[in-house]
Amino acid sequence: MNPQHAHDLFLLMVQLSQMREVGRIWEVFVDGLNDIGLGVTVQRVDGQERSGTVLPVAASGQKFGALLLTPTGEPDAALPLVRNAAAMLAVILQGRLAAVELAALHAATRDELKDARLLNERILETTPDLITIYDLEERGNVYVNRAAEQVFGLPPKELQELGSELFAQLIHPEDLALVLANQERLVQGADGEVTEVEYRMRDAKGQWRWYHSREIPFARHPDGRVSRKLAIAVDVTDQRAIEDHLRQSQKMEAIGQLASGVAHDFNNVLCAITGNAELMLEELSPEDPLRESLVEIHQASERGAKLTHQLLAFSRRQLIAPKVLNLSQQIEQMGAMLSRLLGEDILLSTLPQLGSARIVADPNQLEQLVLNLAINARDAMPNGGELMIETIELRAGEEGFPPNFDAEHVVALLVTDTGCGMSSDVVEHVFEPFFTTKALGRGTGLGLATVFGIVEQSSAHIDVHSKLGEGSSFRVYFPAVTGDFAEKLSPVEVLQPQRGEETVLLVEDEESVRRVATRLLRRLGYKVLTASSGGDALVLAGRHEGAIDLLLTDVVMPHMNGRELAQRITETHPALKVLFTSGYTESVIAQHGLLEERLHFLPKPYSMLSLSERLRQVLGEGE
């Protein structure tokens, strides 16, 4: 092919997109061209026309365009050469097109990988979980996420450089062996096997927090040995606290039920002892030599009643009469009494909260709670010291607010001493009844158990912070009272004892208690009908021809309890007054431990004085 042919062919290929066939669209013509096209006339954009032979540029069925061979020179001689050139050009264009498509695919894949990498980075850097990649041979972290930096207060680079020293500095010494043993299990385990371990690490504030770590081999040597591990550690401190609190609550609930049952049975025994002792004391002259022994018996029964009262407080079976109180004022009013209780060697400091500091609690229980905490602190400072009692208000989110407490606003009572402190083992059992670190005969082990019961019954929460040699701090959190609340009335004041002449139906399943109660009632002048069960009482009431003025019934009895008996008997005796009594108060009289004001209750053991006062109060109601 001469230079003129080459020039025209090259020119026409370059200007292909600027040409059209005369009379129809050039692209359509080329698309339908399967072999040489003879005598084709094309027109340039500038209007010039040319005619010649057209050869398709195609490879593997894919068409890329066409070559136009003009008649300049010797076109027939150049036709084979042009045909070969068109075939070669098609192959080149096909390869170029494939390269372009591959480059586009590569660019798209690169963008997708970049997006995926950015997404993974965002996930790793925003998750609150600690994520690390640890090199077992270099004994260092090759990656730590931002959460680790925030928790430990160290930049990622320093966390990586610490390497194995990180274990010694951050992991609790008691848990280090456990962590290393888990790492050994990981190294010896199968590929993809996940190991789990829980341990404590110290955060930037110096506090120990629990983490649950899941670890998996991240890289291996050609021989299969693990070279790197991936660890994801989740903070489970709050979860463990909730679980511990639940276990403790369940244990204390079981102990409380046992204590309540013991108190009930013991109160029945004390009721018989107290009543008989009082009856005998009334019959003996002041000079009788037996009188001194009876007085000691009576005093011992009163001490026993106080013990059962503490057991009932622990088991949350006490009757309470809650009212709205200002905690700071209550503490101030107890100041003089607390100072006498503590003695001269212990300095008492009170820091009341300025403000309302209002809570709902039983005043007597609150006083008992503070006294028991003060006595516990006094006993922890045999050589003197300082006791600080403080009240503060806290809102959810503020430092010091109790975790997982169902309230947005609390009033806290802080009782802190400078005594001998307690070990963690002692703290774990400190609220259990009869648990004491005092010498034999020096304590009952019910003081803090009573505190725990009062706290639970008041819908409050208690924490203990103590270390050996550094004193102890008890913190009681009460839900704060906001807005206007009408205070609940305290129990009715006790009236002066009086004798009576009315008829009393006494229902008591415990024979010894029934006998002594009958004698007490008759000694007070009452006419007495007695029954040992609810069924017998209904029969007796139905047969009795005269009036029955008052029903004195035990609450907890087999087959029919006292409340059911009262409901049935008042259907036929609507004017009948009712007085309930029990050795414990888990009955309908005190649902959830709250006193129902319309019901009258006399706790066991009762004396002749308390029985007479309560009878006159109930019988005189409505007069």
DSSP assignments along 88-103, one per residue: HHHHHHHHHHHHHHHH
Q: What is the pLDDT of residue 526?
A: 94
Average pLDDT on 224-231 reads: 81
The CATH number assigned to the domain with range 241-314 reads 1.10.287.130
Q: What is the pLDDT of residue 550?
A: 94
* 307-342 CB burial, b ≥16 within 10 A, e <16: ebbbbbbbbbbbbbbbbebbbbebbeebeeebeeeb
CB 537 within 8 A of CB 561: no
Is the pLDDT score of 4 beyond 50? no
Count other Cβ atoms within 10 Å, centred on residue 161: 13
What's the pLDDT band for 539 if we cut at 50, 70, 90? Answer: very high
Residues of the chain with CATH 1.10.287.130: 241-314
Average pLDDT on 20-46 reads: 54
Q: Is 212 helix (H, G, I), strand (E, B) or coil?
A: strand
Is the pLDDT score of 248 beyond 50? yes
> Which of 116-125, 381-390, 511-520, 601-610 shows the lowest per-residue confidence on average (mean pLDDT)?
116-125
Q: What kind of fold does domain 130-235 have according to CATH?
A: Beta-Lactamase (3.30.450)
Name every residue whose Cβ is closer than 8 Å to that of residue 113 and which is 6 or more positions away in sequence: none
Q: Name the most confidently modeled range: 109-123, 246-260, 527-541.
A: 527-541
CA angle 157, 160, 162 (to 5 degrees): 110
Tell me the two tokens of residue 550: 């008052």
Q: What is the CA radius of gyration of the chain?
A: 47
The CATH number assigned to the domain with range 323-479 reads 3.30.565.10
What's the pLDDT band for 537 if we cut at 50, 70, 90? Answer: very high
For the chain, give the percent of residues with pLDDT over 70. Answer: 67
Tell me the two tokens of residue 297: 């018996």
Q: What is the pLDDT of residue 154?
A: 76
Q: What is the pLDDT of residue 35?
A: 63
Q: What is the pLDDT of residue 123?
A: 66
Q: What kind of fold does domain 503-619 have according to CATH?
A: Rossmann fold (3.40.50)
Residues of the chain with CATH 3.30.565.10: 323-479
Write the CA distances from 403 to 60, 285, 431, 461, 463, integer angstroms. 74, 63, 20, 10, 10
Q: What is the pLDDT of residue 23?
A: 42
- Angle between the N-to-C axes of helices 534-543 and 562-572, in degrees from 0 to 180, rounded to the nearest 10: 20
* Residue predicted with more confidence, 119 or 179: 179
Beta strands 323-326; 358-361: pairing state: antiparallel
What is residue 532's DSSP assignment?
Answer: S
What is residue 605's DSSP assignment?
Answer: S
Alpha-helix residue ranges (DSSP H) falling in 380-479: 424-429, 447-457
What's the pLDDT band for 417 if we cut at 50, 70, 90? Answer: very high
CB 594 within 8 A of CB 322: yes
What's the pLDDT band for 603 if we cut at 50, 70, 90? Answer: confident
The mean predicted confidence, pLDDT, of the chain is 75
